[in-house]
Structure 1
Amino acid sequence: MKKIVECVPNFSEGRDSGVINAIADAVRATEGCTLLDVDSGYATHRTVYTFVGDPDAVVQGALAAARVARKKIDMTRHRGKHPRFGALDVCPFIPVANVTMDECVAVSKAFARKASQELKVPVFLYEESAAGDYRRRLPDIRQGEYEGLAERLKDPRWKPDFGPAEFVPAWGATATGARNFLIAYNVNILGTPNQAHRIALNLREAGRGEDQPGRLRDVKGMGWFVDEYGMAQVTVNLNNYRVTPIHLLFEEVKREAEALHVAVAGSEIVGIVPLESILMAADYYIEKEGLFLYEERSRIRLVIERMGLNSVAPFVSEKKIIEYIVADPPDEPLAGLSVRRFIEEISARTSAPGGGSASVAIAAIGTALGAMVAKLTQGVRKFETVEPQMQKSIPVLHELTRSLIPMIDADTSAFNDYMEGVRMPRDTPEEQAVRMARMQAGLKTAIQVPMAVMRHGDRAWDALCEVAKYGNPASISDVQVGAKALETGIWGAFQNVVINMADVIDPAFKDEIMTEARAIETRARIKCRQVLEILDNIQTTFLREKR
């Protein structure tokens, strides 16, 4: 599995497009790095870059960006509204996929060591990389900002972790470390910066001091005025969006603003966000307003509208949500074909795709037909009385259909491990034993694909029965075809399990899997018959009423 680390360096330049672009180009030119976002602020005089790569690549990308900043940014002339103490003010590394926090700590230290040696600048470690608790928080390290840095570096307690304990006027200092995913989030206020700051003080964890803590945990924040927007903002960092999610912060700001008789005019996410944080907000508004939304895109759209995420710049999901940005195109050579080409592939003089892939496609068609009829029934005035049943069934059938489609290709590639075992050497007893073990492991892996198809199909029956009972009677034939398709798809997957199990020598595995498979196959026949009986009765009544 590919290791992905996110790096979010913040540079003290938000006005000179030449410098901003040069730093971006340095990241883009680094092999293994993908630049995801560049977010500049004129008033803050700061640009936040977001890029991802493997652990080694992100170190090189951050170094490349820092080299440009060393040549082109002069902190002696810098003025901006955002707290800062260096040209490369802060450079966090965040685990995204298949990477531990400890690995990101090591990445941050590797960057700190190389940057301090090459650029001859002081570098501090913060967050999870900090040497002591008093150096963990960025505001503590950055206290006094650039203007107070020369005096601070004279204090032995604030000796840099890497590099010289000397003031470098053109650069200042840099903080780097490993941390959890941080969401930079601003809520727009049609009021004064003082009012925005007052709201921030009430909400941020530090509050107004130890005696007056704020209400929300893991939140850092302040209020300011952004000239290019013509609005004040409550600007926050959500250090742990699972503790204080974005929608909670937004709703609390609205509450505070109402008490001050000022209006909230939407909000903005700076940089990128995890999909989970957006879907958490969607769940909140869906429950609060009693809505019925099941498609991911619709849920995201709801959040954009309710939180005003388009208020100052377009919120484009493909550019703002990290899972969408880094997602590789689906490896679906079969599922991506046209229906004609897929059938022609099955008919070709090759063993794959064969009955396994066909069975998955047939099962997916079965669940899709059920989903279609439920969606055509839901929201129709004459079927208002069955709305609860449709709202319960639609998400199940919709998601099962989406989950089954990729298995069309998974079935065809399921024998890769087994075939690798077949090709292994077998000249000695030892080689034969290793080969047999690999082949057996490959067979078990291959069997799990049709078993997954059977399990997914089995989960559809209750929802399909509800659609048969309460769905639009004009679509009876669609549900009938769906039920028979689902039964056939499960039966086909079962036959794949049976034929592959013949060569498995592990009796415990055989017993466990075959017991489950037979139960699912038997239940499919029973449930299909049940659906058809329901539909036969409804069809008789429906046709009688039409005469």
Structure 2
Amino acid sequence: MCEPNVSEGRDPGRMARFGAAVEESPGVELIHWSADPDHHRMVLAYRGAPDAVVRATSALAAAVYAEVDLRRQRGQHPRIGALDVVPFVRGPGCAEADALGAARSFGEWAAARSVPVFFYERAAANPGRASLPGIRSGQFEGLAEKLSNPEWRPDLGPRSPHPSLGAVVVGVRAALVRFNMNLDTEDPGPARRIAAAIRESSGGLPHVRALGIPLRRRGLTQVSMNLTRHAVTGVNTVYERVAAGARAEGVALAGCEFIGPVPADALRGLDPGRLDADLGPGQILQLPEAGDREHGGGE
């Protein structure tokens, strides 16, 4: 399975064409896609045999590269590429070697089109650059300066960013849970403080990545989270912590959402009515549970 993130979340025509590029690729099933105009980001998920998934990803990338120009794109979500991150996720019957081969094949395709490629998580060529947030720090606007540092030489492709497409981060990771909680306030302060309190990097919950993001089009703010090992820190835990933080800030919750596919084991014991979160058809997946040796990456 592949779950690419595209730096486009506002143009319906473009997003339809990106989805069609995958749907029209033989041998793959597009199981879910979603987009948010404030994040300015589209997340797709599709599955098939490794070779078919690589072909579909190349078709998607070609469509994205024909239409997205990062010099004219800015949203709330961090990004360094038009096609920002391409995670391959092993499904039933897929060996890790096949997933790693798929990541490498797509990376070579992108590099041949003058897009710098970084490999992350289990595909990382440089263990010190396995973390997606570390690779993406500085975003597209700081990418040229970053790549001028010999320590940030791309794994494949040119040593300078593509002028309009930036770079792409490609990897193999375990399944993760992308879970967002909205707050009924336009003030971004509470969401940012709650995110800082719960994310692992600032001493919060283990295996949680979190950002506080304004949703200006909805008049809300959001605590946007990736649970990279949901068996360690699950949805119930982060829900309680964010809800408690919201109460302490004096703001009400305004609904939750899951982005992309959700491993079925991550939903055990949850009350969807309490969470006020809808899950669409095909969004709940039976996948191999992540073992302790695997670490999922946040997108």
TM-score by length of 1: 0.51
Q: Among residues 146, 156, 168, which one is paired with 1:162 in the alignment?
A: 156
The percent of aligned pairs where both chains have the same amino acid is 37
Q: Among residues 15, 37, 48, which one is paired with 1:42 in the alignment?
A: 37
Matched, 1:306 2:287: no
1:224 match: secondary structure: strand
Q: How much does 1:265 deviate?
A: 2.4
- Say whether the 8 Å CA contact 1:30–1:64 is kept in structure 2: yes
Matched, 1:70 2:65: yes
RCO higher in 1 or 2 (8 Å CA, sep ≥ 6)?
A: 2
Q: Among residues 53, 56, 59, which one is paired with 2:48 in the alignment?
A: 53
Q: How much does 1:73 deviate?
A: 0.8
Matched, 1:264 2:259: no
Q: Distance in 1 between matches of 2:223 and 2:92?
A: 31
Q: How much does 1:274 deviate?
A: 1.4
2:231 match: secondary structure: coil
Q: How much does 1:146 deviate?
A: 0.3
Matched, 1:18 2:13: yes
Measured against aligned partners, the alpha-carbon deviations of 1:145-197 in whole angstroms (never above 9, x if no partner) come to 00001111111111111111122111000000000102111011123211011
Provide the residue aligned with 2:188 in structure 1. Answer: 193
1:187 match: secondary structure: strand
- Give the structure with the larger strand fraction: 2
2:255 match: secondary structure: strand
TM-score by length of 2: 0.92
2:262 match: secondary structure: coil
Which residues of 2 match residues 24-423 of structure 1 at below 5 A? 24-117=19-112, 119-191=113-185, 192-207=187-202, 213-214=203-204, 216-279=205-268, 281-282=269-270, 303-310=271-278, 315-316=279-280, 318-323=281-286
- Give the structure with the larger helix fraction: 1
Q: How much does 1:256 deviate?
A: 1.6
Measured against aligned partners, the alpha-carbon deviations of 1:379-403 in whole angstroms (never above 9, x if no partner) come to xxxxxxxxxxxxxxxxxxxxxxxxx
2:197 match: secondary structure: helix
- Say whether the 8 Å CA contact 1:194–1:224 is kept in structure 2: no
Q: How much does 1:13 deviate?
A: 0.8
Q: Distance in 2 between matches of 1:125 and 1:82?
A: 20
- Say whether the 8 Å CA contact 1:159–1:165 is kept in structure 2: yes
Q: Distance in 1 between matches of 2:249 and 2:65?
A: 44
- Say whether the 8 Å CA contact 2:18–2:60 is kept in structure 1: yes
Q: How much does 1:14 deviate?
A: 0.9
Measured against aligned partners, the alpha-carbon deviations of 1:387-442 in whole angstroms (never above 9, x if no partner) come to xxxxxxxxxxxxxxxxxxxxxxxxxxxxxxxxxxxxxxxxxxxxxxxxxxxxxxxx
Q: Distance in 1 between matches of 2:19 and 2:71?
A: 23
- Say whether the 8 Å CA contact 1:94–1:101 is kept in structure 2: no
Q: Distance in 2 between matches of 1:171 and 1:114?
A: 14
Q: How much does 1:322 deviate?
A: 2.2
Measured against aligned partners, the alpha-carbon deviations of 1:231-255 in whole angstroms (never above 9, x if no partner) come to 1110011111111111211111112
Q: How much does 1:266 deviate?
A: 2.3
Structure 1 vs Structure 2 CA RMSD: 1.4
How many residues align? The count is 286
Q: How much does 1:101 deviate?
A: 3.2
Q: What runs of 5+ residues in structure 1 fail to find an aligned partner?
A: 1-5, 208-212, 283-302, 325-547
1:97 match: secondary structure: coil
- Say whether the 8 Å CA contact 2:177–2:266 is kept in structure 1: no
1:254 match: secondary structure: helix
